[in-house]
Amino acid sequence: MAVNNLTQRSGRFLGWTFTEELAAGATGNPVVIPPLLAGQRISVRTIGGTQDAKIQSTISSDAKVAAGTAVWEDWPAGIQIGTVSATLDAPVTAIRCTVGTATSGAVNWEVLI
């Protein structure tokens, strides 16, 4: 399974970021959280208009994430419609976004550490 990596930000605001647009019914490839960021607060936002989406996280090993066998847990906000933000406090090894099939619209999701 393919995985995505965070991009290091530069300039005024340091940190790590990731953004992606997903079509209805899609589940994005996992975004791997580097060990050096373990335990950092992870800010996540879904921007879905009328489309529903949820963020999922895992503490499964990197090998299980890459193999597609990781165990995924829904974020505390659950399935949401529109623009929703949340913070994941616990250390996680990867996160991903899953878009519902309620409408045909796409969902953008953003990560900031």
Residue 105: inside a domain: yes
Print the domain residue range for 55.
18-112
Total domain count, the chain = 1
Q: Any idea what the CATH number is for the domain that residue 83 is in? A: 2.60.120
Residue 11: inside a domain: no
Identity (one letter) of the amino acid at 26?
A
Which residues are CB-neighbours of 30 under 8 A, at least 6 positions away? 1, 3, 4, 58, 65, 70, 94, 95, 96
How far is 2 from 49, CA to CA, in rounded Å?
Answer: 27
φ, ψ of residue 67 to 5 degrees: the values are -85, -10
Per-residue pLDDT tens digits for 77-100: 889 998 999 998 778 999 999 998
Residue 13: inside a domain: no
Residue 8: inside a domain: no
Per-residue pLDDT tens digits for 10-36: 877 788 999 999 999 999 999 999 887
Per-residue pLDDT tens digits for 34-85: 887 877 889 999 998 888 999 999 999 999 999 999 999 998 888 999 899 9
φ, ψ of residue 50 to 5 degrees: the values are -100, 0
Q: What's the pLDDT score for residue 14?
A: 81
